[in-house]
Every structure is written in structure tokens, then in C-alpha cells.
Chain A
Amino acid sequence: MNEMLKNPAVLREIIMDHYQYPRNHKLTEDDSYKKRHMASDSCIDDITVQSKIEDGIVKDICFDGVACTIATSSTSIMSEMLIGKDVQEAMKLVENYFNMVEEKDYDEDLLEEAIAFQNVSKQANRIKCATIGWKAIREMLQESEGEVNE
């Protein structure tokens, strides 16, 4: 793993940067996109994630909504990590991320900037913030896998 990503100051900067300048932060009217509105009673984050999954490839991901630093930055990082990946590869990255957040075994080398959320489980009530966008994409990836199998 990149040594830089072990430095808390760098990790903090990554989160700040993705919060203040979130990537892929827009929604589209294009109805070839799948869409998930993520809002729950246990948390005030309220975001919508869209994805275009075609020919087994994640062609695009975008999102918007009202959300905290952790929800916004984790979703922004997710979008950058997964765009261009094939569905199976994306699914592997998603599961690896959930393993990290849920304190199970995970592969650090697959996480890239998402390693910034390594300690999120220490603030247990914020796990939902760090996973809200990832849950949305996981559902959409699963749905697209189902479609391929059919």
C-alpha cells in the first residue's frame, strides 16, 4: 500500500477534499441509469445514487443529496473507485470495503483512498454514514448481476 495512505493527516485531507469537492456530484435525467434513494430514520443523510451499468461494466456513477462529511466523501470516493470496473471486480471492492467497516478481514491494497474510513467503526453510530452510498451501489450491482443471469 502507498505509504502516504498510512498518514492520518493525508487521510483527513482526502476526506476533506472529497467532502468539499465531491466527484460525480450531480444527478441525471437519463433513464438508462439505475437509481437508489437512500434515506433512513436512524440518520439524517439523504442521498440519491445513480449508476449506469452496461455490458457488465460500471459505466458511470453519480450522486447528490444532503449528507455529512463521511457520507459525502465515502460516496464520492466510491464513485471514483468503481467507474470503469466490471461488475464482478466492483462487487469484490464493495465487499472488501464492507469487510473493513465491519471489522472483518480485508485486503488493504484494494482500498485506495477508501482506506480513509478504516477507523470509522470506532464511531459506531457513524458506520451508517460511511456505508450509505456503498449500500446503494451494492444493491444496484446485485440487481444487474441478477439481470445478466436471467
Chain B
Amino acid sequence: MVNVKEIRKDFPMFSNNPDLVYLDNAATTFKPQCVIDAVTGVYTQMTSNIHRGDYDLSHRISTAYDQTRTHVASFLNAEEDEIIFTSGASASLNMAAYGYGLTNLREGDVILSTEAEHASNILPWFKVSEMTHSKIEYISLNEKGELTVENFKKAMHEKVKVVAISYVSNVLGYINPIKDITEIAHEMNAVVFLDAAQAVPHMKVDVKELNVDFMSFSGHKMLAPSGIGVLYGKKDILEKTDSYMMGGGSNARFDMCGNLLLREIPYRFESGTPAIEATIGLDAAIDYLEKIGLDEIQTREAELKRYAIEQLSKLDNIILYNPDAETGIITFNIKDVFAQDAAGYLNSKHIAVRTGLHCAKMLVDILKTSDTIRASLYFYNTKEEIDRFVQVCSEITLEKCIDIFF
């Protein structure tokens, strides 16, 4: 069992903001003291650059940095040389799309995705398809907005070389059937790119079990600092991936005749001085999550989500778009109130949520609206916070949303 009262003591944001109900965890999460200490520890005790420093301090920080890679690998059940550090999920997705796509896609090839993807997972492919004259096709979602194996099978064909999808949708919070999708994709020789930004912080993710080829996520959505993200790539796929960012850190030797010896994988993908303190913060964040247990975290969030849906369902001014999704993402609207007005009212009562505008036609067809409010939970949220959130939602009317300005 997660002892939430004890856990909340680890997060200074709670004691510093006693009135705040923070329900925007899908955007970013609070940081526990151990992560903050790990970051400041770099500044106060270990400042120096990693690798190649001919002194003890640099050796110490290099060891701490490398240890994070080992830790991330074991956390995902991957190999160490399959873990590339980036500045975040968006950088990971771009690195994979350009690095693999530009060298491996040909005219007429197809990139298969869905219309529920985050911009960072689809926009790089827009560019890659333009540059390689390949094509993007979309898998139909079912009436609830879910990606099903059946629909995936229908959309799959021999021209599909890349499947770019998310593990958990950031809009509707469904857990996609990745294992089955990967199996089918591989049978037809397509490579699977998984955006796991909304999955890795909330559940156990095993890359060997999923058998995906690429996977990306951000540290800041899982208690770590911003500025650090991960790209996982299968070794043999990384061999076929171009490291388009060149510079210090990516090369072993080069001369002015143009001879270049790239460093081994994964270092060839990591040019320049990385976010060292953020990386070491990620190490501490994974430690913290592992101590609680990812299965415990998933169970707790599912329980909180069920409770929230149960309470929200009692209100007659609420439209719920994803009551069945198992993760902590609640997508909703207040009847006859524009999402941003309702979010503004919630903000005036110190409840932090986020509104979203959905451009994808398919998603608009399913939701029957272009704008929604998203409340997203993490394991440190409480039933009391949900009660306050539900209470405020129950009060919302158009008039009240305007009254906050007087």
C-alpha cells in the first residue's frame, strides 16, 4: 500500500503550496527532496565535466552519470548500450525519426500512426515523409477513441515500414496493446517507434517484453528534472540509425582530411555536454519510483481514477470522455462552458488542470468537441484532493466563470 501522507512529505511543493490541488501531472510532476538533493549535490560537491577529465572529480561525476545509464537500462529491462540520453521525449522522437527515417525510408513507403498522437510523435514524421517522399497513414480509432489490434491489422500492409504510436494516449489515457501490435508489425518487417512519455512514469515497462524497436520518454514527467529524456533503441536498429548531431562526445578521433571515427553506440548519439545534473536527478527519481514500486503506483492511480470517475459521474453538469481508461488521465468538459473558462474557474479555486484543443478530425468526431479539460493524476494525489476538485466542478456555471473577473 502506498502511504500517501508519508509520501507527500517528500515533496516540498506540497508544503510550500498548501492550497493547491495539482492535477496536471501528465504535463509535469513535482520533485521529491531526494531528486532535488541529487541535483544540488552535483553543484555543491561534484561540479566538473564528464568523461576525459584527467582528475578525480571528473572521474566521480562520470561514474555517477554512467551509473544512471545502467540504472535506466535495468529499469526498462534493456541493455546499457541501448540507452541514449536526450533533452526529453521530443528530442528522442526527433532523433529516432530523422536518424532512422531519413536513411531507411524510400519513396512510397508508409509511416503508420494514429490521429490521437501527441504533436511530438507525429510532426517529426510529417517532415521525414516530406523529405523521403514517404506517406503517413492513420489507423482508425474505435468509437471510444481506443486503438485496437483489430483496427491495427486492417491498417497494416506491406508498404508500412514504420509504426509510430504511443503507449498511453495523452488525451484519452488508454493503454494501447503494444505487444500484439509489435508482433504483427515485425511479421511484416515494420519498425515500431513507441512514445512512452505517459506510460513509463506510471507502470512497469519492459522493452524486451514489448519488443519495440525504439521507445522514448521524458524525465520531468516522472519526478526527475526537465532537460533529461531517454531514447531506447534496439542495438541492431541503432546500427542502422544516423547520428545527425555531430560534435564533441560523438567522435573518438577525426582529422582535417575528413577521416572520422565515431564513438561506439550509444555515445555517438550524445554530442556535447549533456544535462549532467538532470541525468543524475533521473537516477534518484527512478530510485524513488522503484522503492514505491511501479505496480503499486499503477494500482493506486487506477484506484484514484475510479474514485474520481465515480464522484464526477454523480454530477449532471459534467461530460466525461474516457471514463474507462485505466490510467490517471481524466478528459472532461462542463456542459455549455468552454474548456478554458471552466479551467479558469478551477484555477481561481487553486486547482491546476490543463485545456487542450484537438485538431485531428478523427478525434473531434469521437469527442464531438474540439476543446477539452484534462485532469491528470499521479500516485501522490489524494481522495481529499479529488473531493475538492469534484466539489468545485459541481459549482461551475458560465456566470461563475465570468464572476472571477470582478
Contacts and interface: CB of A to CB of B under 8 A. Distances in A.
B340, B341, B344 — most chain A CB neighbours (10 Å): B340
Interface string B370-382: 1100000000000
Contacts of B357: 44, 46, 66
B344 A68 contact: yes
Interface in A78-99: none
A43 B338 CA distance: 13
Given A44-B357, A46-B357, A69-B401, A119 B406 contact: yes
Contact of A123 (B371, B399, B404): B404
Contact of B341 (A69, A116, A125): A69
B342 to A, nearest CB: 9
A117 interface: yes
A19 B399 CA distance: 11
A126 B338 CA distance: 14
A11 interface: yes
B355 interface: yes
Contact of A68 (B341, B356, B403, B404): B341
Interface in B352-406: 355-357, 370-371, 398-399, 401-406
Given A66-B370, A68-B344, A126-B344, A44 B355 contact: yes
A64 interface: no
Given A12-B399, A16-B399, A122 B405 contact: yes
B347 interface: yes
Interface residues of B, number: 20
A126 B341 CA distance: 9
A43 B398 CA distance: 19
A8 interface: yes
Contacts of A11: 406
A68 B399 contact: no
B338 A69 contact: yes
A12 B401 contact: no
A121 to B, nearest CB: 10
B344 A123 contact: yes
Interface of B is mostly: helix
Nearest to A13: B402
Contacts, number: 55
B348 A68 contact: no
A7 B347 CA distance: 24
A44 B341 CA distance: 11
Contact of B405 (A19, A45, A120): A120
Kindly state the interface size class of chain A when it binds its partner. 20 to 34
A129 B355 CA distance: 13
A66 B405 CA distance: 21
Nearest to A20: B398
Interface in B314-358: 338-341, 344, 347-348, 355-357
B402 A44 contact: no
Contact of B398 (A8, A45, A69, A123): A69
A15 B232 CA distance: 51
A67 B344 CA distance: 13
A70 B405 contact: yes
Contacts of A68: 338-341, 344
Nearest to B354: A44
A8 B347 CA distance: 21
A125 B398 CA distance: 18
Contacts of B348: 123
B320 to A, nearest CB: 19
Contact of A67 (B338, B399, B402, B405): B338
Given A44-B355, A44-B371, A117 B405 contact: yes
A11 B371 CA distance: 27
Interface of A: 8, 11-12, 15-16, 19, 43-46, 66-70, 116-117, 119-120, 122-123, 125-126, 129
Given A8-B406, A66-B357, A123-B347, 6 more contacts: A12-B399, A12-B403, A16-B402, A117-B405, A123-B404, A126-B344
14 contacts: A12-B403, A12-B406, A15-B405, A19-B402, A44-B339, A44-B340, A44-B356, A66-B370, A68-B339, A69-B341, A69-B398, A123-B348, A125-B344, A129-B340
Interface of B: 338-341, 344, 347-348, 355-357, 370-371, 398-399, 401-406
